[in-house]
Structure 1
Amino acid sequence: MTTRILPAAGDPDAARSITALLSQLPDAEPAPPVPDSTSLLDMLGRMAAESVDELPEVVLVHERIGPVPALELIREVALRFPAVGVVLISSDAGPGLFSAAMDSGARGLIALPLSYEELSARVQAAALWAVGVRRHLGGGAEVFTGPGGRVVTVTGAKGGVGTTFTAVQFALAAAASGRRTALVDLDLQAGDVGSYLDVQFRRSIADLAGIQDISPRVLQDAVYEDRTGLALLLAPAEGERGEEVDERAARQVIGALRARYELVVVDCGTQVTGANAAAVEQADTAVLVTTPDVVSVRAAKRMVRMWERLQVRKAEDTAVVVNRWSKHTEIQPSLIEKITKTRPVRTPVPAAFKELQAVVDAGRVQDLDNRSTVKQALWAVAGELGLLSAPDKAPVPAQPGTGSALAVRAAGPVARLRRGREG
């Protein structure tokens, strides 16, 4: 049996050492090493999307991988690709780390410096385990990505651009189409998901922050099952408790939700924290909401550049929703695409606040009329992003203007944006 092995090591010297030793293993097919956690998860995701048979039997994770810490990365791989055997390589081979690695889902621990005998034994054991699991599960493609298991984050370029409203409508659209959907409020100090849906609940995401292993029962106790069909995990009522939800907690909570729901929509607010940066990095789809004005578009550009510097998300892998658009707006989606290097969705969301005012003031955005052009546009965007399991259930989107209405005029704020594009 040929064993396909994918090493992940951020240190170039460690990567060369691992590759050299792997090349000596009989019946081994080592892939070129990946340098960071983002590349590893992206590669495994692409492989799983094509075919389960494309996944490697063994993934080797070096202790100095980044930006996600090794144990958290192992947990993420184990949750998303449960029939891949993950092995940790570390200079600490003590019982404490061994126990922590096993709790995270690793199938073995290899001590540094590497030895041929130990590497061979651990790789063989992990590969046999992976083959056995795949045989038991029957090789179905859906097994390796969870029950739907898709995560979508919604982040605002700045405050007031409609981030929470967008996230709520995405989740409502997905639930209406028949998907089992969770909506998470990760705007930890100023979350308003509960206010938008007229929900008060004493439990929040902060109650899960200190739990090492989130069981289905523990998760169920923290989630509010709303009459809309959404499962809501709210931000803490006391904003200071948001500090309890760090990067590790966010990864663990989102991983637990991914394993239980077909779709997880995460409202990340407008501030970059360790928690919401971890969510954006984990997301299958990252959405950035902006309005077509100078301040918001510059804020969107700052956000995507910060994500790139932090190795959270590449600009071209970010979908931008243009909210409060009109055919008379000087800053059009095509210009926003050039400035931010992102990929705007095809459907801009019209500026029609009068349609929303009554339901927003009542805290009942789920009651927004299906004839609302804003709702039609957002549900159409949800369809574009692949969030709907039955798109025919969604309202038919209003068609935005075309032709000359979408032309970009280089005057006024447009000229100001172009002058600042390189800044």
Structure 2
Amino acid sequence: MPTRILPAVGDADAVRALTTLLSQLPDAEPVAPVGDSTQLVDTLARLAAESVDELPEVVVVHERIGPVPALELVHEVALRFPAVGVILVTTDVGPGLFQAAMDAGARGLVTLPLSYEELAHRVQAVAQWSVGVRRHLGHGADVFTGAGGTVVTVSGAKGGVGTTLTAVQLALAAQASGRPTALVDLDLQTGDVASYLDVQFRRSVVDLAAITDISPRILAEAVFRHDSGVALLLAPAEGERGEEVTDRAARQIVSALRSRYEVVVVDCGAQLGGAGATVVELADTALLVTTPDVVAVRGAKRAVRMWDRLQIRKAEETTVVVNRHTRTTEIQPPLIQRITGTAVAATTIPANFRELQAAVDAGRVHDLDGKGAVRQALWALAAELGLVKAPETALERRGGRGRDRGAGGLRRRKE
């Protein structure tokens, strides 16, 4: 079968040189080149929406692509379309760029000026890798073949504000609506997802930390399938082992989950380490949970400012969720929005611990009363974020074009 190769080049002369060589490669099928980063991502997303098999095996990104820099584009493609092998064409042959390209997700580099032998060898190797990945995906169960699942991180302004409860309920709501969902406990030292869901499982996120190429089979062995259908990737039982989950490992783990699940919810806890910061940076939606009191709101403001200083995420790209809200409290969502400079979710979570206590104490928060105010609010939040699949209308079931009645989710960053 011919290898489909999609060149992404922003320079006319470079386009001619690259496409001429690609057309000479054996068993190669170059497709029409794209001229900028936006066109590349849009093209891949359109193909992936049909089927993962419609995607080209190889994408060749030239260093003079724009407007997004080449390394950032490589990173975006590798995360959103993990079955596509990316080759970076560059004049820089130094070890620094090589390492940066590998960290971004490239499968190889080809140096300028172009050499037929080097290009042919690299394209063949990357194409074989892509075919192997697709073979694994095709044999796995519950494979999500869209343009990459939605990643939502849930962080706490401080401990005890309801971060884990929020993450768990968002995942349950997404799964219940028919979207394959994974819940990751990245609160590596003090994660409580297993306790909240009454789960005992010896595997954890640490088991994936040292694996450089996470296959669907390896991933399936590390996750626990909860009775609700949510796939759980738990924090380690020994908190000190959390240090084994590096920034790079976190990126690879979330990328692997994103390729197989339509929704990935990550509980980052209240103490953000390197792994959590990496996931917050790449997330489509980053939530920061706070309660409407002075200490928690100050904590939220500190977290937002820290994320901005460290270039993890800008304030306007963060959404604050107000938990334990009452109408009588002095601190209301509009004030929190002004203090933090973030967006604030329209859905607030009411203060009603009595509704939660029995389920939390029993470790069965998945059994919360569906008519309870807290559970209803959390599932409404999932709908607001676009995590819940809209129910099929009668017109759509008859094959007509029904009106899209899904809740308006937050737009993905960088789209």
1:296 maps to amino acid: A
Q: Structure 1, residues 347-391: CA drift from partner, whole Å, max 9, x if none?
A: 111111111111111111111111210111010000000111146
Q: Structure 1, residues 18-56: CA drift from partner, whole Å, max 9, x if none?
A: x69748869898857xxxxxxx7x997677668879x99
Separation in structure 1 between the aligned mates of residue 268 and residue 320 of structure 2, nearest angstrom: 14
Provide the residue aligned with 1:240 in structure 2. 240
1:5 aligns with 2:3: no
Pairwise CA RMSD of aligned residues?
4.2
* 8 Å Cα contact 1:189-1:236 kept in structure 2: yes
Provide the residue aligned with 2:389 in structure 1. 389
Provide the residue aligned with 2:335 in structure 1. 335
Paired residue secondary structure (1:191): coil
TM-score (norm 2): 0.71
* 8 Å Cα contact 1:350-1:373 kept in structure 2: yes
The residue correspondences of 1:120-159 to structure 2 (distance < 5 A) are 145-146=147-148, 149-159=149-159
2:204 maps to amino acid: S
Separation in structure 2 between the aligned mates of residue 273 and residue 31 of structure 1, nearest angstrom: 38
Compare 282-291 and 43-52 and name the one that shifted more.
43-52
Provide the residue aligned with 2:257 in structure 1. 257
Separation in structure 2 between the aligned mates of residue 249 and residue 152 of structure 1, nearest angstrom: 18
1:93 to partner: Cα distance: 6.8
The residue correspondences of 1:191-202 to structure 2 (distance < 5 A) are 191-202=191-202
Change (3 A) 1:289 1:380: same
Structure 2 gaps of 5+ residues are: 1-5, 20-31, 50-54, 64-68, 135-143, 393-415
1:353 maps to amino acid: F
Change (3 A) 1:292 1:21: farther
Provide the residue aligned with 1:312 in structure 2. 312
The residue correspondences of 1:360-399 to structure 2 (distance < 5 A) are 360-390=360-390
2:8 maps to amino acid: I
Change (3 A) 1:23 1:216: closer
Change (3 A) 1:46 1:24: closer
Q: Percent identity?
A: 59
Q: Structure 1, residues 233-286: CA drift from partner, whole Å, max 9, x if none?
A: 100000000000011110111111111111111001112211111111221111
Change (3 A) 1:202 1:29: closer
Change (3 A) 1:162 1:220: same
Provide the residue aligned with 1:92 in structure 2. 93
Provide the residue aligned with 1:115 in structure 2. 113
Structure 1 gaps of 5+ residues are: 8-18, 33-39, 63-67, 137-141, 393-423
Separation in structure 1 between the aligned mates of residue 267 and residue 93 of structure 2, nearest angstrom: 38
TM-score (norm 1): 0.70
Compare 19-28 and 160-169 and name the one that shifted more.
19-28
Provide the residue aligned with 1:415 in structure 2. none
Paired residue secondary structure (1:145): coil
1:110 to partner: Cα distance: 2.9
Separation in structure 1 between the aligned mates of residue 203 and residue 70 of structure 2, nearest angstrom: 28
Equivalent pairs counted in the alignment come to 350
Paired residue secondary structure (1:260): coil
Paired residue secondary structure (2:348): coil
* 8 Å Cα contact 2:204-2:234 kept in structure 1: yes
Q: Structure 1, residues 112-165: CA drift from partner, whole Å, max 9, x if none?
A: xx43778x969x979xx8xx99xx9xxxxx95613xx11111111111110000
Provide the residue aligned with 2:190 in structure 1. 190
Paired residue secondary structure (1:190): coil
1:198 to partner: Cα distance: 0.7
Provide the residue aligned with 2:78 in structure 1. 78
* 8 Å Cα contact 2:145-2:259 kept in structure 1: no
Separation in structure 1 between the aligned mates of residue 9 and residue 328 of structure 2, nearest angstrom: 52
Change (3 A) 1:328 1:238: same
Change (3 A) 1:182 1:192: same
1:181 to partner: Cα distance: 0.9
Change (3 A) 1:260 1:116: closer
Change (3 A) 1:360 1:298: same
Paired residue secondary structure (2:259): helix
1:374 maps to amino acid: V
* 8 Å Cα contact 2:7-2:61 kept in structure 1: no
1:230 to partner: Cα distance: 1.1
Provide the residue aligned with 1:350 in structure 2. 350
1:229 aligns with 2:232: no
Paired residue secondary structure (1:335): helix
Separation in structure 2 between the aligned mates of residue 91 and residue 227 of structure 1, nearest angstrom: 51
* 8 Å Cα contact 1:171-1:230 kept in structure 2: yes
1:200 maps to amino acid: Q
Provide the residue aligned with 2:28 in structure 1. none
Change (3 A) 1:44 1:198: farther
Paired residue secondary structure (2:201): coil
Provide the residue aligned with 2:407 in structure 1. none
Compare 292-301 and 224-233 and name the one that shifted more.
292-301
2:113 maps to amino acid: S
* 8 Å Cα contact 2:355-2:372 kept in structure 1: yes
Provide the residue aligned with 1:295 in structure 2. 295
Paired residue secondary structure (1:359): helix
Separation in structure 1 between the aligned mates of residue 304 and residue 12 of structure 2, nearest angstrom: 37
* 8 Å Cα contact 1:324-1:350 kept in structure 2: yes
